Structure 1
Amino acid sequence: MGVMNELINAGSVETLTRILTEIGPEIRWERTAGAASKLDGLNLRARTDLLAEALVADISSVPSPGYPTAADSFRAALQVPEFTGWLLWPVSEAAVTLALASGAMKDFDDCLALLAALTPRLTGEFAVRRLLANDPDRALAAIRGWAASPDEHVRRLASEGTRPYLPWAVRVPALIQRPQATLAILDALYRDPSGYVRRSVANHLNDLARHAPGEVVDTARRWLAAPDANTGRLVRHGLRTLLKKGHPDALVLLGFAPAQVAVSGPRLDREVLTLPGELTFAFDVANTGSEDARLAVDYLVHYRKADGSESAKVFKISTVTLAPGESRSLTKRHAFREMTTRVHYPGVHALELQINGTAHGRTEFLLELP
């Protein structure tokens, strides 16, 4: 994360201060400039908050403080090509802080428009969340209009900024409690010509699947009834979590109907594994039915947690189609290494196969720490 933190550094602050001073000399921007010396030891989010607070303080110290002054300054700065990149994250957060402090609906609406203007230089997906949390209906009414923007960055902002579980971003309870609220945005964008936008739509759909799987499957079914060349790939990506969970309707929608199979294994290459290491396993799967079987072949690792309970994670192996009576032998290696996203605990773990959402052949092994 050290490299990420440096996306906003002393040089960024100096650039931002210089640009704002050139276009708005009536504001001294002293606190903004002073933030450059306070960044050490802070992560990217903390640096953003520090600089946003400094911008708000400087704008609040002028004879005409408040959101309109900030909006005029930031829009004027857009004339400068260097006014771009990560230094715009604190700018967008400062604008939202001042718009919400104002309490005026005209400032709220103008701040949404300002974020749309800024987002081609750096996405406003994080700052817009606070406007959504404050007044979701008013914000969504404007955001739905962004889906028709000629700028792909603004269209993506409509989808990405309203994702229920956007990484790094604050949660907006209304987006989770009302999954239908953003479907009109996704309906408008799922056939977007930009892959950048379509990836956001797929990730948004996958977010919704965490708490509204029925609505997600219904939406995907509608899209597949009126597809273009990219719809199939988008839907597969958007349903990836439901597929891993073995959701039956999602599996059927993507062609993985319930199948009659016989599974032998998994056969592990060892019973005891020392971290770091690799576990190799093999298994056989046969189609015992009378029709071709299209199979989503996955496996689960049941990790041991600190309290002795288990936490399963699904990993993909392959998609295979077997004729009646046909069998296939498959082999896979799984690496166990320390990662920032997973802490390993010694003890009994398990590996299990999953074929079209149905579990087969749980086999245990012992994980030891060095």
Structure 2
Amino acid sequence: MIGAIKRAWANFRGFDLTGSTVPPMDGPLRPNAKLDAAPLLLELADVDNLVLRGQQILCSVGQEIHTLAPEIGNSGEALSITGTHSVGKPVTSMAAAGDLLAVAVEGEGIRIERPGGASTELIRPEGLNVECITAMAFADPSTLLIAVGSARNPAHRWKHDLMTKTEAGSVWRVDVGARSAVSIASGLAFPSGIIVSKDRLFVSEAWRHRVVSMGLDGSFQQIALGSLPAYPGRIAPAAEGGFWLAMFAPRNPLVEFVLKEDEYRSRMIETIDPEYWIAPSLVTGRSFLEPIQGGARKKLNMLKPWSPTWSAGLVVRCDGSMSMLRNYQSRADGDVHGVTSMCEADGRLLVGAKGSGKIVAIDELAGHAAR
């Protein structure tokens, strides 16, 4: 009886009893189109894992690692591929410390590449799911911190991990010299970004929409940034202090609702191609089979910037305690969606939008899109 009265009152007042409300894009996350206004440096389908190794800019596409450099005679306003080598299997994450490069190869392990290509070591710690290494960061040249998104799914099945409500992620500390690893945190909901800050770790926990901090041994875990309106991903250091945080897809009330409907979600997983699930995506608008179309998104054949969307572009500037300061966005009608990696080079931030297949630049010193 009391439940019926509560539901009737909620229907009358417009309350949400399902818990599917998504926090608004407000304050430091106020909507803008700064990523779309930023200069395009390179179009490269499926670009991922932007890192700075010494003075070299590297990125991955599938099983290939590309070396990038400014185009000659172009005033540094464009990048070109100057070298490529294949590692044989998909690259899921990369991290650099000076000239040292760590490459996570799906199903194989972690390759440690020494300066000048003199040697390559393979680390495959026992108990660590090498198919789902989502992010890495060096604490020092001999210590590597690793985020494993899931113990049950490979990295490319991240939608399955969310839709099956799997919480089997972990954080590991690897001794590079001894080629050994120890788990320092477990039971995480798809950790997809990690960074070391003095004696603390910041780990983005995508499916719980938050960033947590912990000691280098996994102790004293606490929420550093919570109740986010998007799924947090990789974290990159900012030269002036603080961090850059990528959010690879926005949250959606319909997705939040579907996550509570177990029977519907199970049938969706069994019968529908993942491309067309009611689930977040790195890019949308490529097929008429996608959910939420028509009047919900367009008016007079124009896409509404504020329309419900599965994909967007979002980079957030955070201070040293991971508090948000400002953001750079590509909204529903933009074309810099699915930001998965970033790195600072030559005084500006390079942003890799895997969904749209683009690298754009942000001038942090000026506080707005680069020149």
Task: Decide: shared fold, TM above 0.5.
Answer: no
User: By percentage of residues, which structure has more helix?
Assistant: 1
Q: For the pair shown, which has the larger CA radius of gyration, 1 or 2?
A: 1
User: By percentage of residues, which structure has more strand?
Assistant: 2
